[in-house]
Structure 1
Amino acid sequence: MISYSKLPQHKILCIDMKSFFASCAAVQLGLDPLTCYLVVVGDTDRDGSIVLASSPKMKSEFGIKTGNRLFEIPNDPRIKIVNAKMGTFLKTSTAIVKLFNQFVPKECIHVYSIDESFLKIDGTERLWGSTLETAEKIREAIKQQFNLPCAIGIGPNMLLSKLCLDLEAKNSEIAEWTYEDVKTKLWNVSPLSKMWGIGSKTEKTLNRMGIYSVGQLANYPLDRLEKKFGVMGNQLYYHAHGIDFSELGAPIIQGQISFGKGQILLRDYDDPKEVKHVILEMCEEVARRARSAKKCGRTISLGIGYSKNVSGGGFNRSRTIQDPTNVTMDIYRTCLELFDENFNNRTVRQISITLSNVCNDDEIQLSLFDEENQLKKRNLGYTMDAIRKKHGPNAILRAVSYTDGGTSRHRNNLVGGHNA
C-alpha cells in the first residue's frame, strides 16, 4: 500500500507558454495569438519545410500542427505563414524567466525548455496568496507584459504538476492535482503514451505485457516490472502512483546519459559520399558534446532515414566498441562500418548519431602500446573545442564542410536549427 501522507507535499507550478513560437510571432504582427490563423515554419521558400508551431485556431480548424509540412497548409487568405525567428523567441523566453524571478528566487525556477518551466512556490503565501491565486497572478502578469497566453499545472511534485498541465490545465488554463486525484484522474489515462515519460517503444512493450492504462501499470507487480525494465521499471511503477522524489531541476526520469545529434537534411542525398561527409560532421558534434561533459562512450548508434520519394524507411543500428571514446574519428569509423553494412543505395533524408554507455573521461584505461597516440587525439579534440568556443563554431572545420554535401557551415549560423 502507498502511504501518501509521508510523501513530499510541495507546491510546484508547471508553466507552459501556449503555442509559444506562433504566439510570439502573432504578437509581433499585432495579432491575437488565440484568435488568429498563423503558422511558423523553418523556411517559407521550401515547400517541404516543417511546421514548427501553429496557433490554436490553426490546430482546431485546419488540423495544422507541429510536424506538418508547408505544402500541407491550406490556401486560405486568413492564414499568415512566417519564418521562425529563434533569436527573438529566445529573448522573449529569457524575459519571461526574469518575470518568474519576481515571484520566487532563482533557485526555485527550473527552465525545462524554451516554453516550459517549473516554479517551486513553497512559503510564498504571505506575498502572493494561495497556490491558485499565485498561479493566476503569474498568468496575468505574463498576459499584461507580453500579451502571451499560458497554462499552469499545479502539483505536490514535479511529476504531478507536469501531468496536471498536460492532461487538464492545457484545456482550462489553470488546474491543480493532489495525491488524492491519482486514482480518479491519472489511472484512467490510456493509451500509455499520453503519460509523460512513456514513449512509443515502452508503450508497445507494456502493451505486450497486458498493460494498457496507467491504472493497470500501477497495479502490476513491482518485482516483475523491475525484472523487465530494471531501474526504469521501479520508476514506471511509482510514477503511475504519482510519486516523484526529484528535486527541482533534476531530470524526472533518470535514464542513462547519452550524447546525440540528429538532422533532417535540407535536400535528398543521392550520393553515399555526401552522406558520409555529413556523418563525419555530426560525429564531430557528438564527440564535442561528450567532451564538454568530460564523458566518453562505448556504444555508437547510427540512424538513417530514407526519403519519402523512395517510400521512406531506413535503419538504426548500434555497435559497442572495446574502449570508451570521445574522439571524432573513432566514432566516425564505427558509423562508417554500420553504414556500409546496412545501407542499400537509397536516397537519404535524415541522419542521427548517438554515443551512449558512457563513463567519465578520466576513467579511461589507455592501452599500454598506444597510450601516447590516444592522448594526442583526445587532447587535439579538446584543443579544437577551445578554438571554436573562443572564435565561433566555424573557426575550424573539417574539409568535408566545404563540399557541396557539408551542412555545418550553414547550420552553425542558425539558432536551434533555424534562422535567428
Structure 2
Amino acid sequence: MTDLRKTSGCVICIDLKSFYASVECADRGLDPFTTNLVVADPDRSANTICLAITPAMKAAGVRNRCRVRDIPPGIEYLTAVPRMKRYMQVSGEIVGSYLELVSPQDLQVYSIDECFIDAAPYLHLYRTDARTFAKRLMRRAFEVSDVTATAGIGPNMFQAKVALDICAKHTSDGIGQLDDESFKREIWFHRPITDIWGIGPGIARRLAKHGAYDLAGVCAVNPKVLRREFGKNAEYLIDHAWGLEACTVEQARSYRPRGHSLTNGQVLMRDYSCREVETLLREMMLGSALELVEKGLCAQVASVYVGYSASNFPHQSWEGCGPFGAATAGAGGSAKLPKPTNAVDALTDAVLEIYRARVTPGLAIRRVNIALADLMPVEKVQPTLFDDAANERKQTALSRAMVDVRKRFGANALLKATSLKEEANAMERNNQVGGHRA
C-alpha cells in the first residue's frame, strides 16, 4: 500500500481575515468589507490598542493594531468590546471543520486565527490540486462562521507562511502560492525584510550591519559572518533565505520542549510605584503557585522582570516603546530556589527578594512579568533532613483546598486580602482571557 506522506511537499497556511472584527460583524449581521468596526475596550484610555479592525477600516487607511487615538477623526466606526471566549469558540468550530477533511496529525494550530495543514496526502486522496483544496478549506471556514479566510501554499511551512503574508493580499482569490523558483523571483528581493516571517526590527538592524536588507542579501553574506552574529539562530536565517524549512507540520505538532516553565505577565494601565507593584506580584504569585499545585508540579527557579515607564525618561526617545507608554528599559533577575516547591509563601518571598534587589526605587513601572522554571513533578522532589514535613503537608492541603474552591466557584471566590487594595487588579484580571474581556 502506498504511503501518501511520501508525495511531494505541499503545506497550506490558512489565516482568518481580521478575525476578531469579522466575528463581531458576523454576529451583528454586518459585512466586514463595508463596515467600519474596531475591536477595543472603550473603558480603557485612548491609548488602547485596537485588537482588530475590519478590512473596510484598512481600506480607509487605518493601520492594523493602531491605538484608538490614531483613528482619523473623520472616520465613523462601531466599537466592539473584546469577547475572547467567543473568539475561541468560533476558532474551535473552524478548526473542527478543517478536521472533517484532514487528520489531526496533519494540522498544526499556530494561533487563534491561523493554522498549518500538510496538504500533500489529501491532494491524491481527493484527486485535486493545492489551490482547489485551499479554496475548499476556506469555504468550510466561511460556512461555519461567516468569516473570510486567506491562504498561502508552499512546499514547506516557511514558504506557505510567506506566501500568505506577502503574496495572498495581491491575488483576487486571497491565495498566495510559492515554489522554489517563484520564491526566488518574488520574495528574495522583497523589502522591508521585516515582512518575512521570523524577522523583526532587531534582527533586521543586525542584518543591515552586514549589508543585508532582503533575503537575497542574507544569501550573499558569508555564513561564517552570520554565525558569529546570530549563533545557532543563523542556521534558521540561512535556511529561510533559501526557502528551506526542515520542520514538518507533524514534527511541529509533536514537539515537546525539554524545559518547562510557567509565566505570568501584564502591561499596566497606568504608572505604578515600586511599592504598588509588590501588591501585584503577590497576586500574580498566588495564581501561579496554585496553577503548579493543580498540575502537580514544583518550580526550581523563580524570576521577575519589570519594564519602566517611558515617563521616567522625558528627554529620551524610546523607539521600542510599547502600549500605554511602557518602555524597553527594565530590570529583573532570577534565582534558584533552596528546594523545589509550589508553596505560595515560599515562591512569593523568593520573587519579592529578587524584585527588591533589582528594581530601581522611585522609577514608575508599566510592565510586570514573573516566571517559574525548571518544573518537575511533585512526586520526584526529594525530602531533606531540614524539611518541616508537618507544615508542608498543611500548606499543601490548604493550597489544594484553594484550587478546589476556585475551580468550583471561580477564581474570585477566594483571594488574599491584598487584592482589596486600591492598586490591586487580580479580581479584574480573573474575569479576563489573555488580558482582555472574556
Q: Same fold judged by TM-score > 0.5?
A: yes
1:1-400 map, 5 Å: 9-44=8-43, 46-66=45-65, 68-76=66-74, 78-125=76-123, 126-127=125-126, 129-172=128-171, 173-248=174-249, 250-251=251-252, 259-269=262-272, 271-286=273-288, 292=295, 294=297, 296=299, 298=301, 300-306=303-309, 311=314, 312=325, 313=327, 315-323=329-337, 327=342, 329-330=346-347, 333-334=350-351, 336-339=353-356, 341-355=358-372, 358=374, 360=376, 370-371=386-387, 383=400, 388-389=406-407, 391-400=409-418
The CA distance in 2 between the partners of 1:8 and 1:219, in whole Å, is 32
| 1:280 Cα deviation after fit | 2.4
Read off the aligned partner of 1:37 and give its amino acid letter.
N
State the TM-score, normalized to the length of structure 1. 0.82
Q: Secondary structure at the match of 1:148?
A: coil
Q: Deviations over 1:203-242 (max 9, x none)?
A: 3333334433222323434444444433322222222222
Q: Is the 8 A contact 1:268 1:307 kept in 2?
A: no
The CA distance in 1 between the partners of 2:282 and 2:94, in whole Å, is 38
Corresponding position of 2:319? none
CA change 1:156–1:390 in 2 (3 A) is: farther
| 1:378 Cα deviation after fit | 9.4
Q: Is the 8 A contact 1:8 1:157 kept in 2?
A: no
CA change 1:318–1:418 in 2 (3 A) is: closer
| 1:412 Cα deviation after fit | 1.1
Q: Deviations over 1:15-67 (max 9, x none)?
A: 0011101111112222211121111102356444331110122123242421x
The CA distance in 1 between the partners of 2:393 and 2:208, in whole Å, is 49
Read off the aligned partner of 1:418 and give its amino acid letter.
H
The CA distance in 1 between the partners of 2:297 and 2:210, in whole Å, is 39
CA change 1:346–1:238 in 2 (3 A) is: same
The CA distance in 2 between the partners of 1:355 and 1:148, in whole Å, is 38
| 1:165 Cα deviation after fit | 0.8
State the TM-score, normalized to the length of structure 2. 0.79
Q: Is the 8 A contact 2:304 2:368 kept in 1?
A: no
CA change 1:82–1:395 in 2 (3 A) is: same
Read off the aligned partner of 1:319 and give its amino acid letter.
G
CA change 1:109–1:203 in 2 (3 A) is: same
| 1:182 Cα deviation after fit | 3.3
CA change 1:222–1:392 in 2 (3 A) is: farther
Comparing 116-125 with 281-290, greater Cα deviation is found at 281-290
| 1:259 Cα deviation after fit | 3.8
Comparing 390-399 with 103-112, greater Cα deviation is found at 390-399
Q: Secondary structure at the match of 1:394?
A: helix
The CA distance in 2 between the partners of 1:348 and 1:46, in whole Å, is 18
Q: Is the 8 A contact 1:153 1:169 kept in 2?
A: yes
Q: Is the 8 A contact 1:400 1:406 kept in 2?
A: yes
The CA distance in 1 between the partners of 2:387 and 2:180, in whole Å, is 56
Q: Deviations over 1:316-369 (max 9, x none)?
A: 33424245856454465345544554334244333233456x464579886956
The CA distance in 2 between the partners of 1:146 and 1:182, in whole Å, is 32
Q: Secondary structure at the match of 1:112?
A: strand
CA change 1:321–1:281 in 2 (3 A) is: same
CA change 1:386–1:185 in 2 (3 A) is: farther
Could you list the runs of 5+ residues in structure 2 that have no partner in the other structure?
Answer: 1-5, 315-324
CA change 1:25–1:128 in 2 (3 A) is: farther
Q: Is the 8 A contact 2:12 2:118 kept in 1?
A: yes
CA change 1:299–1:411 in 2 (3 A) is: closer
Corresponding position of 2:322? none
| 1:107 Cα deviation after fit | 2.4
| 1:96 Cα deviation after fit | 0.8
- Identical amino acids, percent of aligned pairs: 25
The CA distance in 1 between the partners of 2:243 and 2:397, in whole Å, is 47
- Total equivalences in the alignment: 411
Q: Check if 1:412 corresponds to 2:411.
A: no
The CA distance in 1 between the partners of 2:134 and 2:288, in whole Å, is 39
Q: Secondary structure at the match of 2:249?
A: coil
The CA distance in 1 between the partners of 2:263 and 2:313, in whole Å, is 26
Read off the aligned partner of 2:420 and give its amino acid letter.
Y
Q: Is the 8 A contact 1:49 1:70 kept in 2?
A: yes
The CA distance in 2 between the partners of 1:74 and 1:17, in whole Å, is 26
CA RMSD in angstroms, aligned pairs only: 3.6
CA change 1:116–1:208 in 2 (3 A) is: same
| 1:131 Cα deviation after fit | 0.8
Read off the aligned partner of 2:14 and give its amino acid letter.
I
